[in-house]
Structure formats: C-alpha cells, structure tokens
Amino acid sequence: MGCRQSGPDGLASVDVTHVRADVRPYLQVLARRWTVIVPAIVLLPLASVILAGRQHPAYSASAQVLLTYSSPGASLNGLATPYPGTSPDRNVATQTALARDPAVAQQALRLSHDSGTASGLLAMSTVSSPNDSDLLDFSVQDSSPARARSLATNYARAYTAYRTQLDAQAISSALAGINAQISHLTRTGQTASAAFRTLTHDQQALTAAAASGTSDAVLAQPAQNAVQIGPHPARSAAIGLGVGIALALALAFLMETFDLRVAADEVERRLKIPRLASIPAGRRWRRDVRALVTPDDEPGRGGRTRASLAVLDDPDGQEARSLRVLKSNLELARLEHDFKSLLFTSARPYAGQAETVANLAVTLAQAGQRVLLCDLSARRPAIGDLFGLEGRPGVIELIRGWGALEDAVVPIADRLLASSAAVLRRGDPGSSNGSGGVTPGHSFGGSLDVLPFGGPAPHSGFLGTRAVSDLLEQLGRAAYDCVLVDAPPLLTSGEAHTLSTVSDAVIVALPDPVRTQVIDDLSATLTRLPALALGFVIVGPSRALARTRPPGGVGTPSPDPDLAAVTPIGNRRWHRTTPPSRRVEAFRSAPHHADWLRDR
C-alpha cells in the first residue's frame, strides 16, 4: 500500500509510493546513461572556466548626455518648441541614430587622440536611453580602463558638438530667410508694417541664439570610472554547468529513445521469466584443454587447441562464481519443477554459448551431479573442439547406427582432474596456480560425460527428425542427474522448437546488451514452447572460440592434421566416404581410444 502524506489542514494528500514509482524509470535512464551525463556536467563547466581564463580583461565606461528638446532662442523669446508633434520615444530613437553616425565616432577619436577607426569604435560601443528617459548613455568597452573612459567621454562630447553644429545650421538657415524678407520689405517701403516689426523681432532672437552657441544636447556626466565586465570564471562555470546539465539530460533521453538495446533488468520484465545468473566477460582465461584431456605421451596432440574453461582456470574468479550462482538457482528451481534434460539455447548465435554450457556442465559435476553434455548445435558444434574430441563418433554416428552409445559418450571428469594436476605441476602460465598441486575448484564429486556432435549432418533439418527426438528420450532415461543439451538458437532455427518437445526445461542465453526486437521475438517464441522456460542467463561480450566449424557444410568437422597423422579419422573426405563399419573400426584401433575409455 502507498504511503499518503496530508497537506495543510488535511485537505491535500500525495501518494508517495506512486510518485516514487513514476520517477524511478527516469532515474534508471539517468543511471544507465551516466557515461554521457557525467562528462557533459564536468567538461562543459571546466571548458567554460578555461576559456574565460584565456580571455583578456574587458572594462566598460559610460558618459551621459541630456536631451532638452527646446531651442535656446525659442525659450528666450517665447517661440514654440521645434518638436511639437513628435513623440518623446521617437525623438530618442532619432537622437540615438544620429549618435551612431561614423562622423561622430571619427570626431570622438580625434578628441581622444586615438589612432583607431570609426568602425572599430562603433563596434566596441553602444548608445542607449536607460528606462526611456531623456538621457543618452554612451558606453565603450575596451581592455584598457583609461582608454574606455576617454573614448566614452569624448564620444559624448563629439555628439553634443555634432548637435550644436546641426542647430547652428538650422538657425543660420532661418536667419538668412528672415533677412531676405526684411530686405524685401525695406525696398518696398513697408518698414512701418506689423510684418516688418515681427520679422525684426525674430531676427534679433535668432541672432541671440546663434551668439549663445547652445544646443538641445548637453553633456550631463562624463565617464568617471571603468567597471570590469569580464571575464567572470565563476559566472562562466555556472552557465556552463547549467548548459551541461540541460545538454546531458537531452542527450541521455535522446539516446534512450533511439537505443534499440534492452538492459538486463528490462529483459526480465519483458520476458516474464527470472534471470538465473549474469556471467561477465572476465579475463582471457586460457588453458590448453587438449593438454588436460590428452597426456603428453601422445606426440603432436598436446598444446594445439586453446579454449576457455573458467571454472578450471580461475575457480575463485568472477565468471566461476557466476556459474556457481547459476548452479544454485537451478537447484532451487528443481525444488519446484522436476526436470532432468535441460535445453541450453540462445536467441541468436553467439560464439560463447558452447563455452558457457561447458563451464556449467563442469560446475554441476563439481557439485556432485552426474552430468551428460550433449552437443546438438549443428551449425556450430564447438563442444568437441573444447574437449579435443574432433573426429570421434557422436550424435550423427548414433543416429545412423554406426556405433553404440558407449562408444560415443566420453567420460571427462576423472581424466580432466588427473591431467589438470600434471599441467599445474609443470607450472603452466595459463593456470591460476603455477606452483603445483590441484586447486580446490578442480575437485569433481560427480561425473561428466560428453557426447559430441560427430560427423557431418545429412541435411540441414536433421535435428528436427524423429531419430534425434528418440535419442534425447533415450538420454533422458539414462543414469544421469542432468542432461545438458547445447541447442541451436531459437530465433534462427526451428530445430530448437522440436528439441524442446523432448526436453524438460529450457534456458536461454542472451548477450549483454540485447536489442529490443530480439526480446520481442523471443518473448513470443517462449510462449509457444512446450518445455518449461526456467529463465535466462545474461552473458557479457563473448570471447570468440578458438576454432569453430567452417562454412563448408552443416556439421562439417574441422580438419585435424595431428589426428590424421595417426588415423584418417580427422580427414573430412575420408569421414564422408568411408563405410560405417570401417570407420568405427578405425576409431577403435586408434592409439588414443584406450585412454578415453579406460575408466569406463
């Protein structure tokens, strides 16, 4: 139940649990995209501070000019204002435009004895009217405070002189007109008329105005001091931080919108099956597995194929611990569901599936279970490569009746433990204990048998035949606690559906991260599987197998020149053309066959 908090006077309430549930998805997005958010929040303020520190100091100085909007001659002689029908805002805009005249700027430079240009002064200065008043504010910015003060003051003086010149020109023009009219009246003998008296009065007023030399623009305040306006590292850092946060959030949610991958937590919600384990991609654990299962007394056999068995290479490592978590979750699931044959598959092909199921088989055997690992991945049968079983009879030979189950199933655990001790005593650099002895993780309380895929499959749909289903049913009745089947992917092969009909449960391996479309297709596929979907396993970026089946044909074994030197079993052409009876006989006569079956 949600926790509700009452507002003032108990009138309003908020469901805190629902609010947290609504916010949690956004917090998860931020947590997933921290690699974008953190650099943006850190780098942008840092870059702003660095750029601000590299800038030269800038200072600003201001001088003010008062606009009177009245002619001195008019005020002394009772004449009307020269701007009777013009609004004050328009007058200010007109005067501001006049102040930006290049002639005014050039005059300001002459007064300041400055070698700059008029365009440069106009670029580094502004003229404005603060609060729409009758004052014009002349501001100049420069890296030198003294130069800024001088230019601001002389810019204002140059404007007042320019306005005085304009007013003088207007008075002179008006006075010339009045003088012409007075001369005309004098020539016509109208000196006693009222018009003559009025013109004479105006002439005296204009003459007085011209003599006074005043104008409508007066320097009200010269520039007193220059204020530093930049740079401001703290302000730049704050602005950079704000921009960085906004950019980081935008990038995070934009990437989340266009990202077609699904995180591990989201996979569990969409598939509606539990996550059994997350197996990371750890160090490049490398052990000569062929040396573990084939002693050195066979010339040319040891040390060629290298693959990874994490539970043997580093039993205390992260990958081995994750596999033990998977084993424990399977044991807990067995308390609720009775299963023996376990189909280990994936959504789409990835190179690490065989390594994962092989490590799981060894982990179960170490826990005391009798395990059979069966390779039914027709397009990439890598189990035989991992344990050095290329060329030996397997599923294909059993289906074709070319041999018995006892000849195809190879016991691994006892031989693996003995050979592991020999490798460790030699101080193998790939082992986790080069000083000698067998590490505790190499102990086997149960047994591990491997049934490789064998020779090439007769056709691409071979795994969907009734013969393969009968073989799985036979293995399910055998004396094993767990039958692990390495199966083809669910979404790229219909054979996995057929194999699930004769399996008790299914585990799906998914790489991290996985795309949304894959999860959607997999969710629809799992609902149609007849077997129980136990859960899924998240596998980190997979390490490519040392050798996989070439594209020469479905189930075609890899060439084995060392094995071919002893018998022709490793030769693919001989493998395809030799009759069954002769092929099985050649296998039984191979020198290494007795070592594999000695402990059975």
Looking up residue 414, the CATH number of its domain turns out to be 3.40.50.300
570: which DSSP letter? G
Q: What does DSSP say about strands 58-67 and 135-142: parallel, antiparallel, or unpaired? A: antiparallel
Last residue within a domain, chosen from 547, 570, 592: 547
Pair (219, 347) in one structural domain: no
Query: pTM above the 0.95 mark?
Result: no
Q: How confident is the model at residue 444 (pLDDT cuts 50, 70, 90)?
A: low
**Spatial CA neighbour of 361 closest among 473, 279, 450:** 450
Pair (176, 288) in one structural domain: no
Pair (421, 520) in one structural domain: yes
Q: Average the pLDDT over 347-356 and give the result.
A: 82
Pair (281, 214) in one structural domain: no
**Of the spans 252-266, 363-377, 461-475, 582-596, which averages the highest pLDDT?**
363-377
Work out whether the CA dihedral 417, 422, 427, 430 comes out positive or negative.
negative
Last residue within a domain, chosen from 230, 249, 279: 230
Question: Domain for residue 576, yes or no?
Answer: no
Pair (172, 278) in one structural domain: no
Pair (434, 287) in one structural domain: yes
Q: pLDDT, tens digit, for every residue of 157-173? A: 999 999 888 878 877 88
CATH number at residue 166: 3.30.1890
Question: Domain for residue 580, yes or no?
Answer: no
d(CA 353, CA 569): 27
Question: Domain for residue 42, yes or no?
Answer: no
Q: pLDDT, tens digit, for every residue of 223-234? A: 988 998 888 888
d(CA 347, CA 354): 14
Pair (193, 270) in one structural domain: no
**Spatial CA neighbour of 387 closest among 407, 364, 409, 405:** 409
517: which DSSP letter? H
Residues 6+ apart with CB under 8 A from 426: none
Q: What is the pLDDT of residue 443?
A: 57
Domain count, the chain: 2
Question: Domain for residue 289, yes or no?
Answer: yes
Question: Domain for residue 243, yes or no?
Answer: no
Question: Domain for residue 391, yes or no?
Answer: yes
Pair (154, 300) in one structural domain: no
Task: Look at residue 222 and tell me whether its pLDDT is greater than 60.
Answer: yes
Question: Domain for residue 349, yes or no?
Answer: yes
Pair (97, 161) in one structural domain: yes
Pair (221, 283) in one structural domain: no
Q: How confident is the model at residue 62 (pLDDT cuts 50, 70, 90)?
A: very high
Pair (75, 222) in one structural domain: yes
Pair (304, 214) in one structural domain: no
Mean pLDDT for all residues in the chain: 75
Residue whose pair of structure tokens reads 């420069």 in the numeric block: 142
What backbone torsions phi and psi does residue 307 show, to the nearest 5 degrees?
A: -145, 180
Question: Domain for residue 281, yes or no?
Answer: yes
Q: pLDDT, tens digit, for every residue of 529-552? A: 888 999 999 887 543 333 333 333
Q: What is the pLDDT of residue 244?
A: 92
Q: Between the CA atoms of 94, 100, 106 and 108, what dihedral angle is there, to the nearest 10 degrees? A: 80
Residue 14 contacts residue 7 (beta carbons within 8 Å): yes
Range of the domain at 119: 58-79+86-230
Last residue within a domain, chosen from 547, 576, 593: 547
Q: What Rg do the C-alpha atoms of the chain give, in angstroms? A: 47
